Amino acid sequence: MRISTDSRWCAVLLLMAVAVAGLLVTGCGGGTGGSAATGGGSAGGSAETPVPGGTLRVGEYSEAINLNPFEAVDTPSEQVFMQIIETLYQTAPDGKVEPVLAESAKPSDDYRKWTVQLRKGVKFSDGRPLTAEDVVFSLDKIIKSAGWSSMYEAISDVRAAGPTSVEVLTKQPFPGLVGVLALPFAGIVEKNYGGMSAKEFATHPVGTGPFVLESWQHGKAITLAKNPTYWQQGKPYLEKIVVTAPASDEARVLQLKGEQVDLIAGPPTSQVAGLESTPGIRVEKSPNDLAYYLVLNMKNPLFENPKVREAIDLAVDRQAYVKAAENGVGEVAGSWMPSVVDYWDESIKVPERDPAKAKALVAEAVKEGVDPNVSLMIAAGDATSNIGSQIIQENLEEIGIKVTISPIDSSAKIEAELEGDFEMTIEGVSTDIVDPSEMAGLYIGLNAFFTQGSNATMEKLLGKAAIEPDKAKVAQLYQEMQEYVAEEKELISLSYKPWVWGVREDVVGFRLSAVGLPIFMNAGFGR
């Protein structure tokens, strides 16, 4: 086609050329800076000590939002800032709570005052030494934080007792202090954020950890670089970590298979077996840190009848749920607390399935006047809930309860659960620390874990456990809490699940803490 020499054509072509040029310029300018090529050795390295150097490319669930530990509540942010900012204590892969920036923590005889000795010779990545003042500032921040204050209510004051010694004063005996100090959000930062505002710190965090923040290209990647002055000599091995957030579960798995990333957080359970059998890829699992439940709303007259609750407990086929809905990644739950927590009661088992007995119980309840129709709220688009709810629907129909499945988007679902505006729902929870006080506190804080049931017994038992220094007695109290929930059958335990990561074979030394958090300090590439 010949181009007309008409002047209007020139005008339009010019306009379009400007638009296209603009598009290309923005496109080019948007490219990430350095290349994120895989460093280190070849595939198949099984040696646990990595070769120093290399860039590890990590695909996260979603983008980090806020790298200020006292303001963040989300896991992707936590998994990034915990590489930069260390805590006084941390949860190890074996579930033990081990000191990091603390050397020791000693309680007074009445457990109302703890003296924490700080590790000596530790420096922040900007060169300033770690002091008691920094710890006082940091603990004060987490105690007053909007997201986490409920876990630290017992603390009344934190003060410096010397250059490397801190005193924590509590309103009541608090033998469990060390357990809650292992929360990654209780990070230790410089006093007054080293002169930054909280908002500035959220994008420019500084800590004592093995890595420092090199760059954060919002929407693209976070690059962490080795902290050259890290207090643990010779560590970390990696030169850099580049964290991206592929937009979907599928994209994350495909990038791992396509060698565009070296490890990914949380592949969907449907893909775990496939990844395990993919050459060059292995799957790492934490202990069971997540627990899933069928939550019965006690405001519903149907569930006020204990026979119906017992019938549901007898009818639900947890084996089928784990096998089909969770693709065999989890395991059948017992106690409502995930099995990773301290004092987890392994003697609590879900009952043997007995649909005949369950059916009889429902029939009796119907004679007593209950309406055996109920709706089950699930998160729309969530494959596990989708299949799981159908299994539960079938199980309950078998015993005479008609279930309508109502998918709803996840934000609206949480709001409905908090408001008690549902009949049945499937919900899960994970713990951030192995100390069971977080789980017990969450149960109470969320209206008997959304069941809208009574909190009185749990409050009484947790109140006693929180101030009890004798570990045997604490174990007894937590056992009672677990038995109580199992007997009430308002919260029907379904399954436990680990945190799962997909890892390329040449990555060695990568570990997950017992609560599923990635530890990159010893990670690197094999020979």
Partner 1 sequence: MTYAHFIGRRLLHVIPVVFGVTFVVFWLIHLVPGDPARTALGFHATPQAIAHLHHEWGLDQSLPAQYINYLGRLIRGDLGTSFRFQDSAGALIVERLPVTLWLIGYSAFLISLIAGPLALLAASKPGAMRDRLVRIFSIAGLGIPGFWLGLILIQYIAIEARILPAAGFGEGFMGHVESMFLPSLTIAVGIIPLVVRSLRAEVLKVADSEFVVTARAKGLSERRIRLRHVLRNALPPSVTILTINIGFLVGGTVVIERVYGLGGVGDLMLTAINARDFPIVQAVTLFFALIVIVINFFGDLLQALLDPRLETQ
Question: Does the protein bind partner 1 through residue 226 (CB under 8 A)?
Answer: no
Structure tokens at 50: 């990595």
Neighbours of 331 (CB within 10 A): 16
- Residue 394: partners with Cβ closer than 8 Å, 6 or more residues away: none
Closest distance between partner 1 and the C-beta of residue 446, in Å? 6
Closest distance between partner 1 and the C-beta of residue 155, in Å? 15
Pick from 42, 49, 108, 149 the residue near partner 1 by CB under 8 A.
Answer: 149
Pick from 147, 274, 407, 420 the residue near partner 1 by CB under 8 A.
Answer: 147
- Residue 413: partners with Cβ closer than 8 Å, 6 or more residues away: 377, 378, 379, 425
The SS3 call for residue 263 is: strand
Neighbours of 305 (CB within 10 A): 19
User: Within a 13 Å sphere around the CA of 252, how many CA atoms are in the beta-carbon half?
Assistant: 24
Question: Does the protein bind partner 1 through residue 255 (CB under 8 A)?
Answer: yes
Q: Which is nearer to partner 1, 15 or 47 (CB)?
A: 15
Partners of 498 in the β-ladder: 288
Say which residue the tokens 């947790």 belong to.
462
Q: Are 489 and 312 in contact (CB under 8 A)?
A: yes
Closest distance between partner 1 and the C-beta of residue 220, in Å? 6
Neighbours of 409 (CB within 10 A): 10
Q: Which is nearer to partner 1, 48 or 409 (CB)?
A: 409
Closest distance between partner 1 and the C-beta of residue 332, in Å? 24
**Sequential DSSP letters for 310-378:** HHHHHH--HHHIIIIISTTSSEE--SSS-TTSTT--TT--PPPP-HHHHHHHHHHHHHTT---EEEEEE
Question: Does the protein bind partner 1 through residue 49 (CB under 8 A)?
Answer: no
Q: Which is nearer to partner 1, 62 or 476 (CB)?
A: 62
Closest distance between partner 1 and the C-beta of residue 11, in Å? 8
Residues touching partner 1: how many (CB under 8 A)? 64
Q: What are phi and psi of 165, to 5 degrees?
A: -140, 135
Stretch that binds partner 1, among 46-54, 147-155, 292-300, 470-478 (CB under 8 A): 147-155
Q: Are 299 and 422 in contact (CB under 8 A)?
A: no
Pick from 17, 19, 47, 356 the residue near partner 1 by CB under 8 A.
Answer: 19
Pick from 89, 114, 148, 344 the residue near partner 1 by CB under 8 A.
Answer: 148
Query: In the range 454-513, which residues lie near partner 1 by CB under 8 A?
Result: none
Pick from 49, 108, 156, 410 the residue near partner 1 by CB under 8 A.
Answer: 410
**Cα–Cα distance measured from residue 39 to residue 240, given in angstroms and rounded to the nearest whole number:** 9
For 242, 339, 514, the CA distances from 225, given in Å and listed in that order, are 9, 35, 25
Closest distance between partner 1 and the C-beta of residue 360, in Å? 38
Closest distance between partner 1 and the C-beta of residue 125, in Å? 24
Stretch that binds partner 1, among 322-330, 354-362, 393-401, 439-447 (CB under 8 A): 439-447
Q: Which is nearer to partner 1, 397 or 421 (CB)?
A: 421
> Long-range contacts made by residues 191-200, C-beta under 8 angstroms, separation at least 24?
191/131, 191/133, 191/134, 191/136, 191/137, 192/137, 194/124, 194/126, 194/128, 198/68, 198/70, 198/71
**Cα–Cα distance measured from residue 297 to residue 303, given in angstroms and rounded to the nearest whole number:** 7
Stretch that binds partner 1, among 25-33, 233-241, 286-294, 454-462 (CB under 8 A): 25-33
Question: Does the protein bind partner 1 through residue 29 (CB under 8 A)?
Answer: yes
- Residue 41: partners with Cβ closer than 8 Å, 6 or more residues away: 51, 506, 525, 526, 527
Question: Does the protein bind partner 1 through residue 277 (CB under 8 A)?
Answer: no
Pick from 2, 46, 109, 369 the residue near partner 1 by CB under 8 A.
Answer: 2
Closest distance between partner 1 and the C-beta of residue 310, in Å? 28
Question: Does the protein bind partner 1 through residue 245 (CB under 8 A)?
Answer: yes
Pick from 6, 109, 346, 352 the residue near partner 1 by CB under 8 A.
Answer: 6
Pick from 414, 444, 467, 475 the residue near partner 1 by CB under 8 A.
Answer: 414
**Cα–Cα distance measured from residue 146 to residue 143, given in angstroms and rounded to the nearest whole number:** 9
* Chain centre to alpha carbon of residue 490: 24
Question: Does the protein bind partner 1 through residue 142 (CB under 8 A)?
Answer: no
Stretch that binds partner 1, among 27-35, 96-104, 229-237, 457-465 (CB under 8 A): 27-35
Query: In the range 65-94, which residues lie near partner 1 by CB under 8 A?
Result: 65-66, 73-74
**Cα–Cα distance measured from residue 415 to residue 527, given in angstroms and rounded to the nearest whole number:** 50
Question: Does the protein bind partner 1 through residue 416 (CB under 8 A)?
Answer: yes
Question: Does the protein bind partner 1 through residue 409 (CB under 8 A)?
Answer: yes
Question: Does the protein bind partner 1 through residue 202 (CB under 8 A)?
Answer: yes
Closest distance between partner 1 and the C-beta of residue 517, in Å? 16
Stretch that binds partner 1, among 135-143, 410-418, 453-461, 518-526 (CB under 8 A): 410-418
Closest distance between partner 1 and the C-beta of residue 26, in Å? 5
Question: Does the protein bind partner 1 through residue 369 (CB under 8 A)?
Answer: no
Partners of 479 in the β-ladder: none
Angle at 520 between CA 518 and CA 265, to 5 degrees: 35
Q: Which is nearer to partner 1, 20 or 47 (CB)?
A: 20
Q: How far apart are the first and last CA of the chain?
A: 60
Contacts with partner 1 by CB under 8 A lie at 1-2, 6, 8-9, 12, 15-16, 19-20, 23-24, 26-32, 35, 62-63, 65-66, 73-74, 146-151, 199, 202, 217-220, 244-248, 250-252, 254-255, 257-258, 260, 409-412, 414-416, 418, 429, 441-442, 445-446
